[in-house]
């Protein structure tokens, strides 16, 4: 009998188990004997047996028993290691909060960023990028005049900037904590590297979540799953190394905008009465006001999970203070995925030489000019020249196929 489905079930639910163990074991050092942990063990075991009750035989139950014990113990060992680092994470957060850093996307932030390879470009520098090649990044880092961004790319970036605060508030609400935002943080030892994490959970978070990094993506079009795209995984590894932290939640949030307030008002959650601030899918909704300033667009967000009347009162208050807004959008969250990513020191150490090599090339081409890089990119665009040859006489028994030329 094929037991792949059972194996897949264990693999796909390991993160759920570890989150549950984190929540129930945050204040104990004796995990195995803690009654709450014992209850989780019993409940999960029964849940798995129920999941496969239609195919359950004594032999399959024996297989599940063995797999479960290994699976549960592995998760328990992971939580133990994190418990051992609780004091370190707490102290590290205090240390990070004391850093004097430029505000994210400020002029100083961009200036410092120009002289570092940042985590968001790490995959590109390693030749494994999704958005540009290694040579493309090298050209960008060594050119005084930056390439103009297409309107489509600019709109996607602006959407992410606009709704990242909504995703942050959503995460804070889900986990009952506060996120501390940071600017660009240089690596404390690797001078050519830095990172700008979207945020890190504060020291007054639930103990199991103190010092957990948050990376947010709000794709307007991209279809996402629980799987973390490789280039984002690399970005988070760089961020964790810069901050000397152990875990990062990769939060993907899908948002849509209503056509008008009437459509917003009609999309409601009813559960023994009207539930404020929720859609019929039991997900948050709200209002954002756009204000154009000399520095760019600024956003004002309505109070979290507020009634329509409260939001309209808030809107009138903001307009009274700032004047009529440029635009207003009633939004809703339609879907989200939160995937835990753990630090991988072995992988990081394996790519440090490549990071140093990339930046040495940046320094070199800034000194001598980047014409060589441009020529390399152009030669790739033209592609390899086709080899031209003449067949004077066909060989009997063989046919020429275009795929074999």
pLDDT digits (tens, 9 = 90+) for 153-180: 777 888 989 999 999 999 999 999 999 9
Mean pLDDT of the chain: 87
| pLDDT at 140 (0 to 100) | 94
When pLDDT is averaged across residues 111-130 and rounded to a whole number, the result is: 94
| 27 has a pLDDT exceeding 90 | no
Q: Is the CB of residue 346 less than 8 Å from the CB of residue 237?
A: no
Spell out the SS3 assignment of the chain: CCCHHHHHHHHHCHHHHHHHHHHHCCCCCCCCCCHHHHHHHHHHHHHHHHHCHHHCCHHHHHHHHHHHHHHHHHHHHHHHHHHHCHHHHHHHHHHHHCCCCCCCCCHHHHHHHHCCEEHHHHHHHCCCCCCCCHHHHHHHHCCCCCCCCCHHHHHHHHHHHHHHHHHHHHHHHHHCCCEECCCCEECCCCCCEEECCCEEECCCCCHHHCCCEEEEECCCCCCCCCCCCHHHHHHHHHHHHHHCCCEEEEEEEEEEECCCHHHHHHCCEECCCEECCECCCCCEEEEEEEEEECCEEEEEECCCCCCHHHHHHHHHHHHHHHCCCCEEEEEEEEEEEEEEEECCHHHHHHHHHHHHHHHHHHHHHHHHCCHHHHHHHHHHHHCCCCCCCCCCCCCCCCCCCHHHC
Is the pLDDT score of 52 beyond 80?
Answer: yes
Q: How confident is the model at residue 104 (pLDDT cuts 50, 70, 90)?
A: low
Q: Kindly report which listed range (117-131, 329-343, 381-395) carries the lowest average pLDDT score.
A: 381-395
What is the pLDDT at residue 396?
38
pLDDT of residue 84: 74
Q: What is the rounded average pLDDT of the residues 94-113?
A: 84
Per-residue pLDDT at 38? 84
In this predicted structure, the answer to whether residue 265 has a pLDDT above a threshold of 80 is yes
Mean pLDDT in residue range 103-128: 88
pLDDT higher than threshold 60 for residue 403? no
pTM: 0.78
Task: Give the pairing of strands 213-217 and 247-257.
Answer: parallel
* Cα 374 to Cα 106: distance, rounded to the nearest angstrom: 30
Highest mean pLDDT among 7-11, 46-50, 337-341, 347-351: 347-351
The percentage of residues in the chain with a pLDDT greater than 90, rounded to a whole number, is: 57
Q: Which of 125, 39, 130, 20 is nearest to 79 (CA)?
A: 20
Of all residues in the chain, the percent with pLDDT exceeding 70 is 88
Tell me how far apart the alpha carbons of residues 143 and 140 are, in angstroms, rounded to a whole number.
5
In terms of average pLDDT, the best of 105-114, 138-147, 201-210, 244-253 is: 244-253
Nearest partner of 162 among 286, 281, 261, 259, judged by Cα = 286
Query: Which residue in the block uniquely carries the two structure tokens 């129920």?
Result: 50
- Mean pLDDT within 49-57: 88
Q: What is the mean pLDDT of residues 182-193?
A: 94
Token pair in block for residue 207: 């103990």
Per-residue pLDDT for 206 more than 70? yes
29-38, 224-233, 236-245, 335-344: lowest mean pLDDT where?
29-38
pLDDT value, residue 331: 98
Handedness of CA 12, 17, 22, 28 (dihedral sign): negative
CA distances to 28, 29, 222 from 215, in Å: 29, 29, 16
**Which one is predicted more confidently, 273 or 123?**
123
Q: Is residue 405 over pLDDT 80?
A: no
- Report pLDDT for 151: 63
Higher per-residue pLDDT: 204 or 110: 204
Contact 89, 246 (CB under 8 A): yes
């Amino acid at each position: 009998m094929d037991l792949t489905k059972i194996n897949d079930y264990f693999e796909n639910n390991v993160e759920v188990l570890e989150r549950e163990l984190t929540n129930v074991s945050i204040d104990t050092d004796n995990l195995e004997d803690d009654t709450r942990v014992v209850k989780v063990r019993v409940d999960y075991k029964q849940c798995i047996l129920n999941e496969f009750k239609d195919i359950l035989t004594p032999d399959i139950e024996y297989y599940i028993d063995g797999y479960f014990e290994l699976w549960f113990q592995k998760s328990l060992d992971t939580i133990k290691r994190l418990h051992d680092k609780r004091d370190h994470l707490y102290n590290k957060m205090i240390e990070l909060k004391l850093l004097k850093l430029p505000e994210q996307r400020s002029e100083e932030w961009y200036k410092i960023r120009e002289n570092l390879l940042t985590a968001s470009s790490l995959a590109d520098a390693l030749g494994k990028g999704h958005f540009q090649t290694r040579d493309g990044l090298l050209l960008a880092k060594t050119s005084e005049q930056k390439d103009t961004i297409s309107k489509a790319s600019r709109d996607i970036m602006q959407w992410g900037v606009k709704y990242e605060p909504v995703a942050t508030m959503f995460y804070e609400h889900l986990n009952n904590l506060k996120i501390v935002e940071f600017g660009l943080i240089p690596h404390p030892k690797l001078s050519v590297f830095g990172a700008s994490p979207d945020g890190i959970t504060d020291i007054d978070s639930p103990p199991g979540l103190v010092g957990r990094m948050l990376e947010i993506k709000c794709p307007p079009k991209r279809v996402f799953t629980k799987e973390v795209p490789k280039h984002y995984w690399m970005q988070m590894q760089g961020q964790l190394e810069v901050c000397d932290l152990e875990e990062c939640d990769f939060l993907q949030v899908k948002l849509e905008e209503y056509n008008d307030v009437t459509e917003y008002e009609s999309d409601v959650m009813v559960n023994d009465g009207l539930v404020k601030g929720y859609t019929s899918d039991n997900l948050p909704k709200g209002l954002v006001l756009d204000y154009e300033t000399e520095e760019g667009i600024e956003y004002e967000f309505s109070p979290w999970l507020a009634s329509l009347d409260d939001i309209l009162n808030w809107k009138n208050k903001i307009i009274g203070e700032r004047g009529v807004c440029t635009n207003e959008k009633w939004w809703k969250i339609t879907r989200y995925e939160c995937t835990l990513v753990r630090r991988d020191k072995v992988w990081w150490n394996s790519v440090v030489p490549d990071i140093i090599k990339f930046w040495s090339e940046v320094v070199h081409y800034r000194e001598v000019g980047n014409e060589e890089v441009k020529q390399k990119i152009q030669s790739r665009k033209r592609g390899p020249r086709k080899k031209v040859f003449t067949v004077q006489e066909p060989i009997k028994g063989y046919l020429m196929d275009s795929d074999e030329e």
